[in-house]
Amino acid sequence: MDEQAFWYIIASCMEDGDSIDEKLASLKQLLIAMPDEDLIAFQEMIDHMMMQAYRWGLWGAAHIMMGGCSDEMFEHFRAGLIMKGKDVYEAAVVEPDTLAEVGEIAECEDLLYLACEVYEDRNDDGAIYDRFHEEAKVTPDGDSFDEHDTRYLKQEYPRLWEIYCAEQV
């Protein structure tokens, strides 16, 4: 599965329902209809997109938007970012402050395991990760940030700061 096919699948489920749960239910139905090879490829793409978004700059944006962001919260945030679609995802990876135009990013832990669950239900085993699992980065790409350095956060994320933090100063 290439990125174009992956994003087409994500876009297809984005049209169904307003809540993240409705979109995930729609995605699950699409995944159920796929052969095992495509399920595995879909999971590979999820892993790839999660690693591609594992960046300090994006973590800083999540920190501002969520009022703090642990590593687990950041993982779920990145999954929610994927569920926003290709354009939002790609813009945010390059320039995280563009998330000011998007609104809330729902944490979406279930996306991380949905293809695995469909595969396991169908095959009665969890061998999807035996086939492939992208090597995880130890630390995010880019320069880390000090979550208490409000001057830095305001400078790096001016639009997000204005929306989420302006009243704090």
* Alpha carbons 152 and 52: distance in angstroms, whole number: 24
pLDDT at 136: 65
- Which of 13-17, 31-35, 63-67, 120-124 has the lowest average pLDDT? 13-17
CA dist., res. 28 & res. 128, Å (int): 16
Buried b (16+ CB within 10 A) or exposed e, 64-88: bbbeebeeebbbbbbbbbbbbebeb
**What pLDDT is stored for residue 127 in this prediction?**
65
Average pLDDT, the chain: 91
Task: Dig out the tokens for 150 from the structure.
Answer: 């409000």
pTM of full prediction above 0.85: yes
Whether 137 shows a pLDDT value over 70: the answer reads: no
pLDDT over 60 (residue 132): no
Q: What's the pLDDT score for residue 138? A: 77
Residue 71: which H helix or E strand, with range? Answer: helix 71-83
Write down the pLDDT at residue 133. 54
pLDDT at 153: 94
pLDDT digits (tens, 9 = 90+) for 81-113: 999 999 999 999 999 999 999 989 999 999 999
| Domain assignments of the chain as residue spans, ordered by start | 3-168
Instruction: Report residue 50 as tokens.
Output: 């999660």
Q: Which of 71, 93, 72 is nearest to 82 (CA)?
A: 93
Q: At residue 55, what are phi and psi to the nearest 5 degrees? A: -135, 140
